[in-house]
């Protein structure tokens, strides 16, 4: 039962006092991305020796977590992530971070139906406004559901969190038990790497397929952002945004006037997203800006909602694809590296959209221990997780071309994908495809 019943005013306490509420065996929720607490995290880490079997759920850590640094053997805290950042991946390699397989848009329902009530939720928000609201900023996701399912709700305030307009994008004081004044640290940023030649080549191919009035979803990574950069110099107009992640590339298109959202059927006039992650320029763009609409992830990612806009264009990365069109985007064998995220849901939603297109992009090769390898392969690496099945695959793009796999047989798919591979690997792939019956002998 929640402590703050009947709409009482939440009590202000220190981070140390809040951490003292945690008992061995409790389940905590840190939320996702920029809502993860910092002052509370440090205070809880200081209590590590006093606690056992404290579970903590989070998603995509944007800076090191004090509880994990204080517990390098995982003896005190059990860390479960719904999507890995590079930091979470390192902790998984060390055996102290664990992944929960999810389609990101379904997570609110998981909390309602399959996850036991949370003992304590600790979320970083803006300071309370005149209406008694603690705004989540640019990270809505499933945080309302976390609040509803938590026995105790603690907010850690940070004035650097941008004001995010939207729906259900905050928690009212009447739902909050305790308030911590945070350390006021600037928001963590995700820098944009300079695009490679392969990124630019892929970007050019995809940009050529985007029409006026298209509604964009851009995934994380250099290739999707390269598409945005090329669109800045192209003639497409009246673009829309309906995405899970709001990126610097999308914000740049908005600032350049290429995004108007006027042709959207759902939330016309609004750039719709569920979380923003990038540089300070991105956070400044959304801060108090009514053109940006931050929604719960079930209202951005579910395919039956995505398809309500026409000409949806979904652009996502993968790390490996086999000759039948299966994309493995989240693991390297049995080593988990990221997560399903919203990739599959946007692939399906874009395909179902009138005039919609889904693009899965990848560079043709990568280097591993000094050896160049092909990302297009006969068989996926043993242990690799299929993120997008072959039956869902639409466009595949490398720096060597673009193909649409819809309506193609296994043999036609294999030939088309071989044509996207690096020339040095095509003969081997063709020979393997014939030997295993994907391409008829003699072809």
**Are 154 and 243 contacting, i.e. CB atoms less than 8 angstroms apart?**
no
Where are any strands of DSSP class E within 177-334?
A: 178-181, 215-218, 240-241, 245-246, 271-273, 275-276, 292-294, 312-317, 320-322, 327-328, 331-332
* Distance between CA atoms of residues 278 and 57, nearest Å: 22
Q: Which residues of 199-208 are buried (b: 16+ CB within 10 A; e: fewer)?
A: bbbbbbbbbe
**Tokens 């397989």, residue?**
101
Instruction: Clarify whether 244 is annotated catalytic.
Output: yes
Q: Which of 106, 156, 175, 244 is catalytic?
A: 244
**Tokens 């299929």, residue?**
386
**Are 357 and 393 contacting, i.e. CB atoms less than 8 angstroms apart?**
no
Concatenated DSSP letters for 226-249?
Answer: HHHHHHHTS---SBEEB-SEE-HH
Alpha helices, H only, 287-409: 303-306, 343-352
**Are 348 and 342 contacting, i.e. CB atoms less than 8 angstroms apart?**
no
φ, ψ dihedrals at 158, nearest 5°: -145, 115
**Are 436 and 241 contacting, i.e. CB atoms less than 8 angstroms apart?**
no
* Distance between CA atoms of residues 350 and 373, nearest Å: 31
**Are 433 and 323 contacting, i.e. CB atoms less than 8 angstroms apart?**
yes
* Closest to 34 (Cα-Cα) out of 141, 150, 165, 179: 141
**Tokens 């940070």, residue?**
158
* Distance between CA atoms of residues 271 and 80, nearest Å: 31
Report the catalytic residues: 244
């Amino acid at each position: 039962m929640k402590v703050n019943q009947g709409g009482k005013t939440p009590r202000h306490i220190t981070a140390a006092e809040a951490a003292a509420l945690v008992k061995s065996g409790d389940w905590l929720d840190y939320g996702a991305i920029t809502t993860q607490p910092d002052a509370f995290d440090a205070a809880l880490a200081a209590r590590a020796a006093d606690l056992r079997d404290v579970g903590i759920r989070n998603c995509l850590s944007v800076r090191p977590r004090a509880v994990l640094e204080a517990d390098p053997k995982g003896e005190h805290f059990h860390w479960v992530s719904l999507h890995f950042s590079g930091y979470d991946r390192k902790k998984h390699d060390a055996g102290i971070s664990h992944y929960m397989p999810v389609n990101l848009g379904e997570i609110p329902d998981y909390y309602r139906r399959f996850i036991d009530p949370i003992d304590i939720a600790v979320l970083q928000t803006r300071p309370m406004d005149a209406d008694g609201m603690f705004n989540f900023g640019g990270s809505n996701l499933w945080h309302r559901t976390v609040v509803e399912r938590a026995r105790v709700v603690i907010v850690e305030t940070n004035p650097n969190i941008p004001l995010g307009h939207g729906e259900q994008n905050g928690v009212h004081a009447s739902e909050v038990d305790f308030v911590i004044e945070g350390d006021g640290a600037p928001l963590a940023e995700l820098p944009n790497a300079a695009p490679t030649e392969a990124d630019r080549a892929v970007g050019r191919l995809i940009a050529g397929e985007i029409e006026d009035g298209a509604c964009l979803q851009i995934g994380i990574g250099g290739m999707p952002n390269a598409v945005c950069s090329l669109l800045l110099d192209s003639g497409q107009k009246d673009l829309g945004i309906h995405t899970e992640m709001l990126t610097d590339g999308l914000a740049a298109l908005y600032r350049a006037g290429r995004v108007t959202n006027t042709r959207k059927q759902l939330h016309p006039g609004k750039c719709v997203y569920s979380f923003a992650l990038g540089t300070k320029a991105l956070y400044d763009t959304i801060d108090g800006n009514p053109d940006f609409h931050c929604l719960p992830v079930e209202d951005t990612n579910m395919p039956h909602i995505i398809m309500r806009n026409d000409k949806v264009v979904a652009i996502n990365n993968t790390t490996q694809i086999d000759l039948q069109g299966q994309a493995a985007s989240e693991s390297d064998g049995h080593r988990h590296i990221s997560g399903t995220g919203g990739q599959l849901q946007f692939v399906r939603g874009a395909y179902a959209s009138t005039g919609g297109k889904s693009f899965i992009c990848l560079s043709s090769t990568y280097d591993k221990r000094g050896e160049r390898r092909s990302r297009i392969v006969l068989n996926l690496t043993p242990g690799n997780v299929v993120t997008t099945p072959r039956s869902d695959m639409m466009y595949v793009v490398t720096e060597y071309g673009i193909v649409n796999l819809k309506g193609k047989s296994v043999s036609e798919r294999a030939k088309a994908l071989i044509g996207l591979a690096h020339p040095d690997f095509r003969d081997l792939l063709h020979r393997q495809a014939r030997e295993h019956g994907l391409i008829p002998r003699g072809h």
